[in-house]
Amino acid sequence: MIGGGLAGLAAVIKIAEMGGQVDLFSIVPVKRSHSVCAQGGINAAKNLKGEGDSTWQHFDDTVYGGDFLANQPPVKEMCDAAPGIIDLLDRMGVPFNRTPEGLLDFRRFGGTLYNRTAFAGATTGQQLLYALDEQVRRYESEGKVKKYEGWEFLSVVLDGNRVCRGICAMDLRSMEVRTFPADAIIVATGGIGAIFGKSTNSVVCTGSAQSALYQQGCYYANGEFIQVHPTSIPGEDKLRLMSESARGEGGRVWVPKTPGDKRDPKSIPESERWYFLEEWYPKYGNLVPRDVATRAIHKVVYEHGLGVDGKPMVYLDLTHIDRKILDRKLEGILEIYEKFVGDDPRDTPMKIFPGMHYTMGGLWVDFKQATNIPGVFAAGECEYQYHGANRLGANSLVSCIFGGFVAGPEAVKYGRNLAAASSNGHFDAERKRQEEINAKLMKAEGNENPFLLWRELGDEMTKNVTVIRYNKNIQATDAKLVELLERYQRVNLSDRTQWANTTVVFTRQLYNMLQLARVIAQGAAMRDESRGAHYKPDFPDRDDKNWLKTTKATFAPDADEPRFEFEPVDISLIPPRTRKY
Amino acid sequence: MANNKNVIIRIKRQANPTARPYWEEFELPWKPGMNITSSLMDIAANPVTRDGKVTTPITYDSNCLEEVCGSCAMVINGRARMACSALVDKLEQPIKLEPFSKFPVVRDLSVDRSVLFENLKAVKAWVPIDGTYDLGSGPRMSAEDQESAYPLSRCISCCCCMEACPQFNESTGFVGAAAISQVRLFNTHPTGAALKRERLAALMGDGGIQECGYAQNCVEVCPKDIPLTRSISEVGREVMKQAVGDLFRK
């Protein structure tokens, strides 16, 4: 198991329960995985509010919210399984918020008209991760799971038939490179935020593992679909997420009608405020899906010139809501705003702006979570399966757990039927290959600083391959990526010691980020339409005739760049219709 | 300090677990909203000390940068706290960064805190469910019970409470406030209570709850405002009750 976030831990639990033996690799102690950052909740159509919600409605909202790019059968399976997953988490002790009767409480989230989101305050991801972490710790104490925390995945060990036989990983303290045999591996390495420099993601979300696998022959699908969350708090080191649950609980987005209005926001009368989401989308209001809200904020700021204080910011206002309700339902996120900005959002509207948040694309997998390399499975954000062209809020946690619950048993089944390898020579060869990469970096005498190259990468990708995309700019970005890859050959490490050297680790990740960035940029350049989070003003409409298809990138080692092919989307359950909120 | 053009940071460094520690001083251009983690990132991009010596980037633990993963704990101006939520404008300069003193140093500001995860195993900090197959909904719970469990469940395992505790050291082997508070959390859960006796037993004897000296530093430094001292006194009472009961049962 590579990765110990929600998807990884979910898979581990299933495997241990089946009597399998798991080695669990994680860069950080698994309890510190990025899943802790998920805030608002987890979707399941439990229909506990008398609204007539159903798993079919959840399925329909998800497919429609994803602009019909997701293969439908696995999405339906996920939505059907979601209520059972909530029950299980409840049994594991997740402190979900309760109704007065003592039942699970549900709130509204974007892209749906139903109260379908179960939540534990505003730190739901943390609570879910802890619950799974505790169950894994229980299995660990029974000897069924062995954790390798502080290890980084470098590559998969493939035999002569290109079948997975294990992994190659590096101890982040001793820097030792070692191979580990496995009948099957599951990759659950999360997001790729670092490719965009600053994002809402954690430091470990570099996409390095996915990229390494792509460079070893895995398909990478729908890479061009990047979710930019409408409400984040810009910061020096990262963009901190301000959960959609703030709007789910009644938060309103607005700007002053007068450009550059200098007044204290609380003193601006209602008539001089523009609640643009409510005006443009009367049915869903502030709870339109994220891609829609993000584009609306961009429009208000850049086309109408109405950003707060003339800056790229809008107000997210909770001040009309009772403080006690805010504390009970949203405390975790209000605390983040208070600590990092210094203002109390109970008293003053928050200033927020869209920030890179999530990748809908990822490793290509089949309906059993298997990649195209035999023995390599994937689950969670690192694969592409459930969210199509745009993910709905609170669907990520359910897709992580569901994906892990499928991947675990499928990997066990695969492993039990696996014939032995003809030789072990591939382990040594792979270890040497990885050791040589380290040795070469340690010796490099160039003049390029990897941290500065990374900042250039992030700026470029954020500028041209996020909310608004023009072919000319994306092509310029791809040319820039080629230049960065070329300059990468001349890096010079500021640290060459052989103990807990974070610089060499980061520099390795940077190479993989650059290779994966090209998949994202080129995929975006090719797709001449607008669908979900992918928006091109020059091609403003969805084009099902030409583009209702999955993008699949494969690495061409000789050319050192991606090649693309496409496969049809399984739309067997819900015929595509125009997406209009 | 917001009007100062530069920020001065002194960092206690150590090349490996057995090397001698030494100090280095850095001067960074001030930026609005900068925190300790962004400062350490700036140093990595240009690792040169204040007196112009080329050095190595600082090794430190970090991940979420929004004070929920528990990684970036260190001693900042003498206080155990999270680096991400330590805003430079609110710190007295020169800012002093040191690794936790009660955990083995890995390198620079990074320390090995795996002892907490071992303690969580020892106190069986989990709900013993029968399995992950479909067994229907969980136990009904009042909103009131949820509201008292939730704050305990927000512990990020940063170990600030242990670093700040005068009793947490090699000679006592004290388990620390974080693990005790988890015992309270799981003992009050309807299903988790099945392991209550075992958890309390794990807190008896040397290194157990009796080592607490009521200094109350733990609750003072906890970044999540967890009512740790209340957990200690509640669990302490339960441990005592069980110990007395065990005595009579013999």
Question: Nearest C-alpha of chain A: how many angstroms from B182?
Answer: 11
Span A22-35, mean pLDDT? 98
Averaged pLDDT of chain A:
97
* Ordered DSSP codes for A461-503: HHHHSSSS--HHHHHHHHHHHHHHHHHHTTB--S---SSS-HH
Q: Is the pLDDT of residue A279 over 50?
A: yes
Nearest CB to B65; choose among A29, A126, A237: A237
Determine whether the interchain pair B33/A235 forms a contact, defined as Cβ–Cβ distance below 8 Å.
yes
Q: What integer pLDDT is reported at residue B141 of this predicted model?
A: 95
Averaged pLDDT of chain B:
96
Catalytic residue status for A290: yes
Cα–Cα distance measured from residue A575 to residue B8, given in angstroms and rounded to the nearest whole number: 61
Best mutation target among A18, A31, A87, A105 (most B Cβ atoms within 10 Å) is: A31
Q: Which of A60-74, A201-215, A415-429 has the least mean pLDDT?
A: A415-429
3-state class percentages of chain A: helix first, strand second, coil last, to nearest 5: 40, 20, 40
Strand partners, B192: none
A127 lies within 8 A of chain B by CB: yes
**pLDDT bracket for residue A422 (50, 70, 90):** confident
Tokens 């601006």 belong to A268
Span B105-131, mean pLDDT? 98
Tokens 């048993």 belong to A409
**pLDDT bracket for residue B247 (50, 70, 90):** confident
Prediction pTM value: 0.97
- CA–CA distances in Å: residue B22 to residues A55, A263, B13, B43, B237: 60, 50, 5, 17, 45
Judged on CB neighbours under 10 Å (0-12, 13-18, 19+), A440 is: exposed
**pLDDT bracket for residue B2 (50, 70, 90):** very low
Determine whether the interchain pair A121/B150 forms a contact, defined as Cβ–Cβ distance below 8 Å.
yes
Best mutation target among A35, A87, A139, A203 (most B Cβ atoms within 10 Å) is: A203
Nearest CB to A503; choose among B37, B57, B114: B57
Q: What integer pLDDT is reported at residue A347 of this predicted model?
A: 96
Q: Is the pLDDT of residue B1 over 50?
A: no
Question: Which tens digit of pLDDT belongs to each residue from A458-485?
Answer: 999 999 999 999 999 999 999 999 999 9
Determine whether the interchain pair B138/A90 forms a contact, defined as Cβ–Cβ distance below 8 Å.
yes
Cα–Cα distance measured from residue A144 to residue A412, given in angstroms and rounded to the nearest whole number: 14
Q: Which residue of B has its CA nearest to A136?
A: B126
Question: Which tens digit of pLDDT belongs to each residue from A38-97?
Answer: 999 999 999 999 999 999 999 999 999 999 999 999 999 999 999 999 999 999 999 999
On whether the CB atoms of residues A226 and A242 are closer than 8 A, the answer is: no
Question: Which tens digit of pLDDT belongs to each residue from A344-360?
Answer: 999 999 999 999 999 99
**pLDDT bracket for residue A136 (50, 70, 90):** very high
Query: How is residue A542 written in tokens?
Result: 């969805």
**Set A116, A252, A273, A290: catalytic member:** A290
A409 to chain B: which residues are within 8 Å by CB?
Answer: none
Q: What integer pLDDT is reported at residue B4 of this predicted model?
A: 56
Best mutation target among A88, A94, A341 (most B Cβ atoms within 10 Å) is: A88
Give the distance, in angstroms, between the CA of residue A26 and the centroid of all CA atoms in the same chain. 17
Residue A23 half-sphere exposure, CB side, CA atoms within 13 Å?
Answer: 15
Question: Nearest C-alpha of chain B: how many angstroms from A20?
Answer: 15
Strands (E) located in A242-331: 252-256, 273-274, 314-317
Question: Which tens digit of pLDDT belongs to each residue from A502-554?
Answer: 999 999 999 999 999 999 999 999 999 999 999 999 999 999 999 999 999 99
Q: Which residue of A has its CA nearest to B56?
A: A495
A494 lies within 8 A of chain B by CB: yes
Q: What integer pLDDT is reported at residue B20 of this predicted model?
A: 98
Q: What integer pLDDT is reported at residue A236 of this predicted model?
A: 87
